[in-house]
Structure 1
Amino acid sequence: MYKIVVASHGPLAGAMKESLKFFFSNDIDVTTISIDERGLVAFQAEMDHVFQQIGTHDVLIFTDLLYGTPFNEAAKRAATLEQDFEIIAGVSMPLLVEAVNYQRQIKKLTEITPYLLEIGKPSSFKEKMMENVNTENE
């Protein structure tokens, strides 16, 4: 089973984990880490601790921004891992809900990553409406 880490600027990661309780029980195996007013050094120390806790488990890391501090610090540490890992920038609730759902089904990280990347794409209401109209016309 893979571990899930959500890393963000400010309280986003913690708020997303809290929101997962609307979809799952309180027993959610997601670790959150945020860079805040404590600064970079404190964040780096916390990130080191998170990676120690991961141990030999595969790990799926979500960050808020591509090449932001949480992404960069996760990438530095993940590059040293021997087990499977993935870092996905642009965390969203659909991604997180699906990742937790698959985690509970004991799916392999390599198996679910392509699917997560597909559902992580933004959706437009108008685009979906046009798809429905086109499908009905066929």
Structure 2
Amino acid sequence: MKLLVVSHGAFCQGILDSYQMIAGENKDIFAISLTDTGIQDFSERLNKQLTELESEDILILTDIKGGTPYNEAYKYYLSNEERIRVVAGMNLPMVIEVGLNLANTKLNDLAEMAIEIGKNGIEGIVEEAAEDNDLEF
């Protein structure tokens, strides 16, 4: 199982760097950025990476649904549905949990985990909640 994180700009590389700082290096996680070199270049690099991993199941995490990284990943998914899943809305809790579970989780379960952890990793601090918080500083 492999994890591919893709995004506009350096976001995916930054999230991979943060993952490695927290959880250590993982040779099964790859990052591909859409840069100012354009969509064609991004698409070629994405397809090259996916072709190199063609014997593997791959979860692709993207930054924004409907953006170029998502759309290009989705195009690849359409011709490889048995071994590719795409999840949009990537965040660090999602990447950490998925990265730590790559070796022992099935592809569909990993995609569902990414969505659940991603949603649960979002929290806001409101005045009432701050008063009830047990954290001490």
Q: What band does the TM-score fall into relative to the shorter chain? A: 0.7 to 0.9
Q: For residue 118 of structure 1, report the CA deviation from its aligned partner.
A: 1.6
* SS of structure 2 residue aligned to 1:120: helix
CA separation in 2, counterparts of 1:73 and 1:120? 21
Tell me if the contact between 1:57 and 1:83 (Cα under 8 Å) persists in the aligned partners.
no
Count, aligned residues: 130
Q: Distance in 2 between matches of 1:4 and 1:40?
A: 21
Gaps of 5+ in 2: none
Deviation string, structure 1 residues 85-135 (Cα, Å, up to 9, x no partner): 22111100000000001114x2112223323212211222349939x79xx
CA 1:72–1:126: 2 relative to 1, 3 Å: same
Larger mean CA deviation between 79-88 and 37-46 belongs to 79-88
Instruction: Determine helix, strand or coil for the equivalent of 2:6.
Output: strand
Task: Name the CA distance, whole Å, in 2 between partners of 1:112 and 1:45.
Answer: 26
Question: Percent identity among equivalent residues?
Answer: 27
Tell me the TM-score normalised to structure 2 length: 0.84
Against the structure 1 CA distance between its residues 32 and 95, is the aligned structure 2 distance closer, same or farther, given a 3 Å change threshold?
A: same
Q: TM-score, normalised by structure 1?
A: 0.83
Matched, 1:129 2:129: yes
CA RMSD of aligned residues (A): 2.1
- Asked if residue 70 in structure 1 is aligned to residue 33 in structure 2, the reply is no
> Counterparts of 1:1-138 in structure 2 under 5 Å?
2-104=1-103, 106-121=104-119, 122-126=122-126, 129=129
Moved over 6 A (4+): none
CA–CA distance in 1 between the matches of 2:128 and 2:66?
30
Offset at 1:36?
0.7
